[in-house]
Each structure stands twice: as C-alpha cells, then as structure tokens.
C-alpha cells in the first residue's frame, strides 16, 4: 500500500507544486518559444509518455506513440533515461534515431523529479533510414498512415550536438533553481485547503520559535493529536515534524541574509532546540551544511 512517506508520492506532490508556480510556467513557455522543443516536468516513477500533451511534441513521435510495440519502446527508453539520469543529465537514442534527454532535480541527496526534452535528430535522416523504420513499424502491425509518418519523420527537428548540449545546460541551471525553491514551495499554503489545515499552518508559523508540539497544534484547531496527524499528512504530504523543520529552515535562511548573524544564533531564533538537530535537518533539506550555505550566499551577494 502506498503511503505519503513514499518517495514517489512525495515527488508527485512536489511536481504538482512546481507546475503551479509562476516561475515554472514562465520558464516552460520561454523554453518552448526559444528552442521549439518540448519540455516536461516529471515525477519519479511516472508511467505516462513524457511529451504526450506538449504543444511542441514531435509529430512523428505523436503518430507512433500509440498502444502497441512502438509505445512500449518509448516507455522503455524513458525508463532507461531516468535510470541513467539519477545524478546528471542523460541522453539516449530511440528506435527511430531521435534523441531524448532527462535532467535530474535533486533536493539534498534526494532525487525528486526530472526535466525532459528532446525528440530531435543530431543528423539529417535519410530515405534509407525511414524505409528500414517503416518496414519495422509495419511488421509490428501498427495502424499508421505511412505517408503521414514519412512527412512527420523528415520534418523532425535537426540540431547540432553543441546546440543541444547548451540547451541541456540551461535545463540543468533551471533544475538547480527549482531545487533551491522547493523548500519554500513545500511550506507555502495550498489553494483551496481546509480551514483547519490553514489555521494549523498559521499557528505553526506564529509559534515556530517555541518548543512546539503536535499536541499543541492539534489543540489550537480543536482536534485530537491522532486525527490531526492523519489529516495534516493527507493535506500536505508531510508529517508535522517535517513541516515544522522546513518552516524553521526557511527562517534560518532569511536570518542568514544578515552577514553579522551567526549560524548558531539563527538556528536558536528559528526554534531549533539543539545545534546537532539543526545541522542534521539543514543538511537533509538543503544538501549542504549551514556554514557552506552561508558562504555560498555571501558569494552570490558580493557578486551583485
């Protein structure tokens, strides 16, 4: 039985939040307009074809990605790319000679999603290549008009490897940006959430500096601790403890914008009860130590 602690479940929640954010919608539109290529943001272990509803989907891919052998091969390729792209971008060529890529989005040590693009040739296809491909598709028994398929095949985007590598670098930078704002997104209030959850979030933010307990928050919304715990996880995808940790880490990050604020002071001001707990939680959520984060932050500020 799937639980909310399942990484795939958490990935789908975070991808949903990314897609609702203005920064992702703006980037998605700009990427498609600038490159003419499809762009998909996909959760870990997603089971659908990556560019099925994309307005920039390759017409040839749209024709062959039907139930049957070619569809299965597309899904298999997608799985292989994602397996290769656990820590860095990966590109593979499909049975038709088109290339697809996945760029991982990692939050700390956790893989949370993929940015995917592609459906391009690195070299102009030939008539001999299409004839071989057409025979294979016919052998599979796919119901597709070969004339339309040929037209779409030769209309596929041809791009140099150097250009494509530049596009992947852009996606890598954006993946890093999404990872950086993921913590913020996960503590934002969701639209249309229940009044009880909204009130609980508000209470947590107001009392995050205190030694806050689950029982206190449950009491603030007039529910039992057991019922509140289940309801809060269902609404947010996080336990109360995880959510409180994220809220406190966000406050620490804001406090560290002050170059004169010591890391230990920021930790205690945000409500952490011990430095060992704080360091462990911060590294888990941000992928680096608080000191490293402070150094990176000051480097960025000094270069502006």
Q: According to the CATH classification, is domain 193-302 in 3.40.718.10?
A: no
Alpha helix (H) ranges present in the chain? 7-20, 22-35, 59-64, 69-84, 127-140, 146-154, 161-187, 195-206, 214-220, 225-236, 240-255, 263-269, 275-286, 290-302
Region 209-235 average pLDDT: 90
- pLDDT for the residue numbered 216: 94
> What does pLDDT average to over the chain?
84
Region 109-117 average pLDDT: 90
Q: Which CATH number fits domain 7-186: 1.10.10, 3.30.450, 2.30.30, 3.40.50?
A: 3.30.450
Residue % of the chain over a pLDDT of 90: 41
Q: Is the pLDDT of residue 126 over 90?
A: yes
In this chain, the answer to whether the domains covering 7-186 and 193-302 adopt an identical fold is: no
Dmax (CA) of the chain: 72
> Which sequence spans correspond to the domains of the chain?
7-186, 193-302
Region 28-37 average pLDDT: 93
Least confident of 27-31, 188-192, 209-213: 188-192
73-76 LR contacts (CB < 8 Å, sep 24+): 74/49, 75/47, 75/49
226-283 pLDDT, tens digit each: 999 988 888 877 889 999 998 898 888 888 878 888 999 999 999 998 999 999 998 8
- pLDDT for the residue numbered 193: 65
pLDDT level of residue 298 (50, 70, 90 thresholds): low
pTM of the model: 0.63
């Amino acid at each position: 039985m799937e639980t909310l602690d399942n990484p795939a479940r958490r990935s789908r929640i975070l991808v949903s939040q990314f897609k609702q954010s203005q920064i992702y919608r703006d980037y998605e539109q700009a990427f498609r307009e600038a490159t003419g290529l499809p762009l998909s943001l996909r959760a870990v272990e997603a089971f659908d074809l990556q560019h099925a509803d994309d307005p920039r989907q390759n017409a040839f891919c749209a024709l062959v990605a039907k139930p049957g052998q070619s569809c299965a091969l597309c899904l298999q390729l997608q799985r292989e790319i994602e397996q290769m792209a656990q820590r860095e971008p990966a590109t593979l060529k499909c049975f038709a000679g088109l290339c697809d890529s996945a760029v991982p989005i990692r939050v700390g040590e956790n893989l949370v999603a993929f940015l995917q693009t592609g459906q391009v040739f690195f070299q102009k296809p030939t008539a001999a290549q299409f004839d071989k491909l057409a025979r294979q598709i016919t052998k599979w028994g796919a119901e597709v008009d070969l004339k339309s398929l040929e037209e779409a095949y030769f209309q596929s985007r041809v791009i140099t490897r150097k250009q494509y590598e530049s596009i992947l670098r852009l996606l890598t930078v954006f993946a890093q940006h999404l990872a950086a704002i993921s913590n913020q997104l996960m503590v934002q209030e969701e639209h249309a959430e229940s009044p009880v959850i909204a009130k609980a979030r508000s209470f947590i933010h107001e009392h995050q500096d205190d030694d806050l307990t689950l029982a206190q928050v449950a009491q603030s919304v007039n529910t039992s601790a057991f019922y509140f715990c289940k309801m809060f996880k269902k609404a947010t995808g996080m336990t109360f403890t995880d959510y409180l940790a994220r809220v406190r880490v966000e406050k620490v990050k804001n406090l560290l914008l002050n170059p004169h604020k010591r890391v230990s002071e920021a930790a205690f001001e945000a409500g952490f009860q011990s430095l060992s707990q704080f360091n462990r939680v911060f590294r888990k959520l941000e992928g680096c130590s608080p000191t490293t984060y402070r150094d990176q932050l000051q480097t960025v500020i000094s270069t502006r």
